Structure 1
């Protein structure tokens, strides 16, 4: 019997970056649908695969024994043809050899590993190397304190994450271990429309290979902005950390903030230190991002907004989530999900917020 023709996707659609690639490959692996993607990262300079994208593709291909063509740095076209369902209860390793984002490696692999015909099967394992706190990607602290709590609370899956070593630009060298037990049946639909008031703000302000005073300056500036935005100073608890040399590769700094609400929502803001940028500005940038994400009244922040789309598409039944204004990343995620699944999305938008509804496919392995 002839193999089915790959579904062709244009990688330049909408956001035209790596996110389109990650969602498409994860859905291809789960649904055993071969795909071909052209014009990869056409809206980036330079276009084509970077080493971190190639590492994510190789990881997904290993999980589902896919035939993978075009997986070279700079390639603008790939073909990904799964030959098996994802192979679970194993340990997989990925390493781009750069400071490429570990969080993005997890984005492509986690959906592949949470569905098993045997819900009592042992967990799958991931050993992911690269950058823990990279530019143009979620910091690993966001993954740990915002993304994974969302997955555990709303999807009934209980992954755990351990940061073994921090890795900073340009060397990378970080290492994160993730354990992924299988879901018990299809993912439940999510209804999340009432956020409730903020009850606490937590944070991690850090410096590695740099004076701790940078972390303290970021924390002080962030706290000042948050108090000026109307938050009670007694509810703000931001830790300052200077990484031990044995716990980090390279030098870097940054801050991640997350607000927990009485409705069980977690909303974040973050910023990375940059050479020539005052640490106080980094702290203010992170706090202003958090304040902006709180101001729209949504139940998820702008980063969780697009990361949840693949799970809404796979869930059983109708999901309904209140968010801030739709981002281009979210529109791209919805487009990819509708190309590869029968999920149906609808967004009701206003100037300040949106309601995302999705009739999911109730995917089971």
Structure 2
């Protein structure tokens, strides 16, 4: 018997691409046909851009889905998933669009494969409004290890706006089992670092960013690193990392044309200060990214310091697929406890096939 198609309104909440990506991930893992309408209606340029189209077509390849509406600028898609297929995949965004977001879209499904999957990605690796490669690996994937997520990554080339061209690979192992994720206390401070990654721009930019870290945070020289990287486009990002016994958080800012290095650094510094001065364990961006894998896998709970519209929208979408999967409660001013009831899906419960694919959008 065919399952009833679930209709998701892409204009709800913040009306961005996360509604599309979360819906695709959930549809693949749950075998749920879905129609997504009004895609990215809350954005100035609505509909599918190349990055979003790559997510749709990557999801299609991974689960052999039947799809309609998968074309540039389309404001809807219909997505009927088939069997999840582990194997070798290559996905190229074709612009500087975020490869991290493409990876996060297909990761949950690949964890349900019967064997290991090898993924090659090409496009943007360090974008505004998206997790960088370092955030993805050292923060997101590191945190997910307790849920039974194992993925090995390697970066070959950085990809900055506008040309992109970044390249990296990932090996995703099938999920067998895991524990509930419980992040209610940070624990003791373990380490801190401020790192700039810079390609084809004057060195004084990264130096000024790091001087601002010393000035505003009173960090020491031993906490600072400048790294020159290979990229087709000029670019720069500053990454501030805090490690505790129970968690890792990263705060970033990507350089922008005609904006002073001190201002860019200040964006990351201010985000770190907001987190440090709160009782949160999980920052705003990581909170948003943890919700879906927690709901599909072992579940758990965490404390975060901001309930952004982005987070609230993602919770609403997940709860449309999995009834009452996520509950929130405000435990003090602007501090929230999020509790997730996980389905504990794993590779033993999914019938899969082996697949090879090379997709360029």
Residue 104 of structure 2: which of 107, 125, 136 is its match?
A: 107
SS of the residue corresponding to residue 169 of structure 1 reads coil
SS of the residue corresponding to residue 80 of structure 1 reads strand
Q: What CA distance in whole angstroms lies between the structure 2 residues aligned with 1:180 and 1:14? A: 32
Measured after TM superposition, the shift of residue 80 of structure 1 is 0.6
> Is 1:160 aligned with 2:152?
yes
SS of the residue corresponding to residue 203 of structure 1 reads strand
Does structure 2 retain, via aligned residues, the 8 Å contact 1:313–1:359? yes
- TM-score, normalization by structure 2: 0.92
Measured after TM superposition, the shift of residue 277 of structure 1 is 1.0
SS of the residue corresponding to residue 132 of structure 1 reads coil
> Is 1:171 aligned with 2:163?
yes
TM-aligned CA distance change 1:236 to 1:19, over 3 Å: farther
| 1:109-128 Cα distance to aligned partner (Å, 9 max, x none) | 11111124x4xx3x211111
Does structure 2 retain, via aligned residues, the 8 Å contact 1:217–1:279? yes
Residue 150 of structure 1: which of 143, 146, 151 is its match?
A: 143
- State the Cα RMSD in Å: 1.6
SS of the residue corresponding to residue 4 of structure 2 reads coil
Q: What CA distance in whole angstroms lies between the structure 2 residues aligned with 1:235 and 1:7? A: 54
**What is aligned with 1:87?**
85
Residue 255 of structure 1: which of 224, 235, 238 is its match?
A: 238
> Is 1:356 aligned with 2:338?
yes
- TM-score, normalization by structure 1: 0.91
Q: What CA distance in whole angstroms lies between the structure 2 residues aligned with 1:142 and 1:315? A: 21
SS of the residue corresponding to residue 141 of structure 2 reads helix
| 1:296-337 Cα distance to aligned partner (Å, 9 max, x none) | 221111111010101221134x61211112121211111111
**What is aligned with 1:296?**
278
| 1:149-169 Cα distance to aligned partner (Å, 9 max, x none) | 1112x2122211111111111
**What is aligned with 1:230?**
none
Asked which structure has the greater RCO (Cα within 8 Å, sep 6+), the reply is 2
**What is aligned with 2:125?**
132
Q: What CA distance in whole angstroms lies between the structure 2 residues aligned with 1:206 and 1:11? A: 35
Does structure 1 retain, via aligned residues, the 8 Å contact 2:9–2:38? yes
**What is aligned with 2:254?**
272
Does structure 1 retain, via aligned residues, the 8 Å contact 2:128–2:253? no
Does structure 2 retain, via aligned residues, the 8 Å contact 1:99–1:173? yes
Measured after TM superposition, the shift of residue 242 of structure 1 is 2.0
Does structure 2 retain, via aligned residues, the 8 Å contact 1:48–1:74? yes
**What is aligned with 1:48?**
47
| 1:238-277 Cα distance to aligned partner (Å, 9 max, x none) | 310122xxx2111111211110013x21122111111111
Q: What CA distance in whole angstroms lies between the structure 1 residues aligned with 2:335 and 2:10? A: 27
| 1:25-67 Cα distance to aligned partner (Å, 9 max, x none) | 0110111111000000000011111110000110011000001
Does structure 1 retain, via aligned residues, the 8 Å contact 2:182–2:300? yes
Q: What CA distance in whole angstroms lies between the structure 2 residues aligned with 1:235 and 1:322? A: 32
1:12-23, aligned counterparts within 5 Å? 12-23=11-22
> Is 1:242 aligned with 2:225?
no
SS of the residue corresponding to residue 206 of structure 1 reads strand
For these two proteins, the number of residue pairs brought into alignment is 346
Provide structure 1 residue ranges, at least 5 long, that are not aligned to the other structure.
228-232
Does structure 1 retain, via aligned residues, the 8 Å contact 2:194–2:213? no
Does structure 1 retain, via aligned residues, the 8 Å contact 2:121–2:168? yes
Measured after TM superposition, the shift of residue 196 of structure 1 is 2.4
Q: What CA distance in whole angstroms lies between the structure 2 residues aligned with 1:289 and 1:238? A: 18
SS of the residue corresponding to residue 361 of structure 1 reads coil
Does structure 1 retain, via aligned residues, the 8 Å contact 2:93–2:99? no
> Is 1:330 aligned with 2:311?
yes
